[in-house]
Structure 1
Amino acid sequence: MISSPLLYLLALVFLASFVSFIEQKSKLKIFKFVPAVVMIYIFSMVLASLNVFEQNEDINAVYENTKKYLLPAMLFLMLLQVDIRDFFKLGKSLLIAYSLAVFSIVFGFIAVSWAFSFDADMAGAFGALSGSWTGGMANMVAVGTALGVSQEAFGYALIVDSVNYTIWMMFLLFLTPFAHYFNAFTASHEQMAKLEAIECIAALGKKRYLLLIFLSALVSIGVNFLAYSGFEILNYTTTTVILATVLGILGSFTRLKTINGSSSAGSAMLYMLIALIGSKALFENFSGVGVYVFGGFCILVIHTLIMVAGAKVFKLDLFSIAVASLSNIGGVASASILAATYNRALVGVGVLMAVMGFIIGTFVGLAVGNILIWLAK
């Protein structure tokens, strides 16, 4: 049993690094269905369930402090190389499709929450999940932490995210060959003209990790100091999350955007956060996960109906609504893959839509999460 807070952190760092290394270096097909972040969470949860980590005062303290400072640092780095101006370079139909996707997902969460009469735990879990389904995993962690979601409830959300996302992506890829039938149904004109791929993440030059870590640490300390000094938006964690997000967005308009390596450093911090959260979860608390997964499917059904109806009204093609959907529910990688199945020249569209999620996901997730918690009262 690990009782030292230093060994506790080292064990989690090793776990996150090892799983990430295996994902990058191996060609294991399992990572196509179970992402590295989910693997890290599961293994961390297994270690916690086997009582490898002693739940003493020192470990609990280092857990809280690490998460408190690592979260805003990660958000700042993940947003630093995103330029919101690129998103508006998309065509009108793609902007409508993206807006429709966000609206339908938000509506689905609220409708299912009301229909299922969520209790506080389920409301918190689906609030965190809404951050992921309108943004990404980083947004999910930010929203879940800001809403004070328990480790068990966050685990439910992570499982729902993984299961539903995997099936949804396979379904959208399956529909690709039938695009012309759908486009005939919606009377949509050909909208898949080649678009120039817009580079959203700096990929040239030396990766300046030390500078990025220094900047992210400065931001993390700064936002925590402001929250501690009495400047609060809803609560302490929400304050740090929002401030770090705003600073990341503002930084993307400056020369900080050209510093290479922020995406890699931010991803490393995300993996560590997932390992931390998993280390506080236990297997015996996951007996009711089926209800959560079913709730996730119901949200997808509502999302689908609204997207199809919107496509008919606005004459949108299957590519537009499918990529808009997956860019929210999946993220950059999956949206790019789906876009490439239609036309490789359209990969940039998937990237831009998914990148937009990093910007709005935290704000949308916080709004939806607070609505769900209010409905649960």
Structure 2
Amino acid sequence: MIKLSDRREMAARVVARCRELAAYSEVAGETTRTFLSEPMREVHRLVAGWMTSAGMAVTVDAIGNVRGVFGGAGAPRLIIASHLDTVPNAGAFDGILGVMLGIAVVEAFAGAGLPIAIEVIGFSEEEGVRFRRPFLGSMALVGTLDEMTLGVKDTNAVTVSDAVRGFGLDPSRMGEARLSPVTKGYLEFHIEQGPVLESLGRALGVVTALVGQTRLEFTFAGHSNHAGTTPMHLRRDALAAASAWVVAVEELARGTDGLVATVGRIEAFPGAGNVVPGKVTALLDVRHAEDWVRGEAVGRLMDAAASAGAKRGVAVSHRVLMEQAAVGLDVGLTGMLEEAMRNIGEAPVLLASGAGHDAMIVAPHVASVMLFVRSPGGISHHPDEDVLLEDVDAALAVGVEFVRLVAAAY
């Protein structure tokens, strides 16, 4: 058992490492780090160094996941993982905290003999920023990263495969990224990214399920024309149609219990102040814990887009970028995580995750569980994202106790 003073020092080191990694960014003065961008090279160097110092054998797989294994190759394996990429202008803890806590859990067992192995993974991509395809790292892990996805292009016409090769990796070896057949479980630490735990005055929460989500790209195609000479009744204004639809998205979500729907990005072309917008693209994100509710809402929002376009002579089309069913987490491991919380004096709080996480990709293939850490102010995907040191300390204690319980089962 690690001493309380040592554990608190380790928790402080976890927070410090998260903040150190936040400095590696594609944009000066903020934290923006997308899939296999140049700053990820230095992140790899640092994370691999910390893993090596903790006694792990370190590799980087074909999709760019950094992986450290502690323990025998043939032993039953527990994965502790999260992601190392960020959204634009991010905070320091989304994803990264989970990887740093994984390393700290391994450090806590330095010199100890375990009947299980621990594999800590820093996924190269989860956010879907660069290619508008999330979960590339965890999809490679479970073998669902297909050739079509590898051919998707970013805004510079670089494909996923091109990006992999440009980083010095080989996309033809993607099959080697698959998880070890001796893997028995998956644990993901993650900040809550919401206000529930803080509202309850609690540091930690056990996640029972991850809500389903649909992401779509809508295109509103009207006709560009001179803003001064085109009468209002003769316009085919794509932005006006899209704007009416955005309001309909908000109204439907507000009127449907548990539904969240967001138009998070909208681009108008040609984008000049004195030109009627002839084309608009918009990204829609719809989430709900019940797949049938989400599916019904998506259908109604498609109809609303068509209606908004028809009133203005604007053609509307869409394509699905992601369709992810709600995912329940493993009952047995969830019970162990609850027991681990009780063993350190924390009464378990159970909650569903409104955000998508790598666990939702892994869970259909491996028994999976998640532990949420309180987000002060409920803030995430923002530079003010933060954690409390005492919460990180508690998460580390739960993680260590969880590993003990899993090990005892073998």
> What TM-score bracket applies, with the shorter chain setting the length?
under 0.3
Bigger share in helix: 1
- The structure with higher relative contact order (CA 8 Å, sep 6+) is 1
Task: State the TM-score, normalizing by the size of structure 1.
Answer: 0.26
- Which structure features the higher share of strand residues? 2
Relative to the length of structure 2, the TM-score reads 0.24
